[in-house]
Amino acid sequence: MLLLVDLDGVVYRGATPVPGMATLLGQRVAAGDTIVYVTNNSRWHRDEYHARLAGMGMPVSPDRIVTAARATALVLTEDGAMAVPDDGRRPTGGRPTAMVFGGPGLARELRDVGLRTVAPNGHGLEAAPDAVVVGVDFSLTYRRLTTAAEAIRRGARFIATNRDPVYPAADGLWAGAGSMVAALAVASGREPDVVIGKPEPRLFEAAAESVGEDPRRAIVIGDSLATDIAAANRLGARSVLMLTGVTTRGQLDAAPAAARPTAVAEDAAELSRVLDAMRD
């Protein structure tokens, strides 16, 4: 089986591993399952997740981690979004160029697939980027916002890694990529052309396709009804809601039938039983 496993709230909570998950996932790999880890986070390169997951004892290799940043890179190479004809518009020549309104991990993922990256500054604008790619941007400034909006007005595609308004940090909620997407949408007068992360299905599609599998045959394991389960349902994939993260039993009980997962697990032990029962 192909398991698309969400990270925060399923595999770990902040710096703390969820008890039993390393053992369970190791057993699933030994039994022949394929695991791809997925996250809406676009801040870090997958190498950084690899070190973190390996340090927690999870079965993992860098090619089995698909962040929203990695998925964005894969989608941009796949769907022809960057395969614009060399019409002379780009003064630097043929290589597709992305303006990165986000962090260095996102820029590195885009360069890994052969894209040229530029920053949201005057020099970047002169490069006439084909796309503006937006993730959580810890260097956010008025000038970066203004420049990225101008690039979109001049014809660059508007690509959002995700629309999460906030995300949990140790000291409260921090502004997510969706906050930057919203600012840019207002400033440019346009909504994103593409949104990659959950609850849109493209992250899961890219994760499944990265191992040559049909995304509709995947089992999504996530802790959020609003993102993980919503994306799985849009895709037509089965899902397991883990009650180890953001969604509570009460929220699950209140959810309409169309928003519910295929199965529910309180912890790693119950997840093991649920997955055994779902085996084709």
Note whether 164 binds Mg ion by CB under 5 A: no
Q: Please, which residues have CB within 8 angstroms of residue 204's CB and are 6 or more apart in sequence? A: 4, 38, 198, 215, 218, 220, 231, 232, 235, 237
Note whether 137 binds Mg ion by CB under 5 A: no
- Give catalytic status of residue 6 as yes or no: yes
Q: Please, which residues have CB within 8 angstroms of residue 15's CB and are 6 or more apart in sequence? A: none
Nearer residue to Mg ion within complex by CB, 26 or 168: 168
Counting residues that bind Mg ion (by CB under 5 A) gives 4
Note whether 109 binds Mg ion by CB under 5 A: no
Note whether 223 binds Mg ion by CB under 5 A: yes
Note whether 8 binds Mg ion by CB under 5 A: yes
What Cα–Cα distance (Å) separates residue 210 from each residue in 21, 35, 74, 121? 23, 11, 9, 33
How far, in Å, CA of 77 to CA of 115, rounded? 9
Minimum gap (Å) between residue 232 Cβ and Mg ion:
13
Note whether 6 binds Mg ion by CB under 5 A: yes
Note whether 200 binds Mg ion by CB under 5 A: no
- Give catalytic status of residue 112 as yes or no: no
Closest listed residue to residue 42, CA positions, set 178, 184, 143, 146:
178
Minimum gap (Å) between residue 227 Cβ and Mg ion:
7
- The stretch among 103-111, 125-133, 222-230, 272-280 that binds Mg ion (CB under 5 A) is 222-230
Minimum gap (Å) between residue 143 Cβ and Mg ion:
33
Note whether 9 binds Mg ion by CB under 5 A: yes
Sign of CA dihedral 118, 123, 125, 126: negative
Nearer residue to Mg ion within complex by CB, 132 or 177: 177
Catalytic residue among 6, 137, 164, 228: 6
Residue nearest to Mg ion (CB): 9
- The stretch among 5-13, 109-117, 140-148, 250-258 that binds Mg ion (CB under 5 A) is 5-13
Note whether 261 binds Mg ion by CB under 5 A: no
Catalytic residues: 6, 8
Q: Which residues bind Mg ion (CB under 5 A)?
A: 6, 8-9, 223
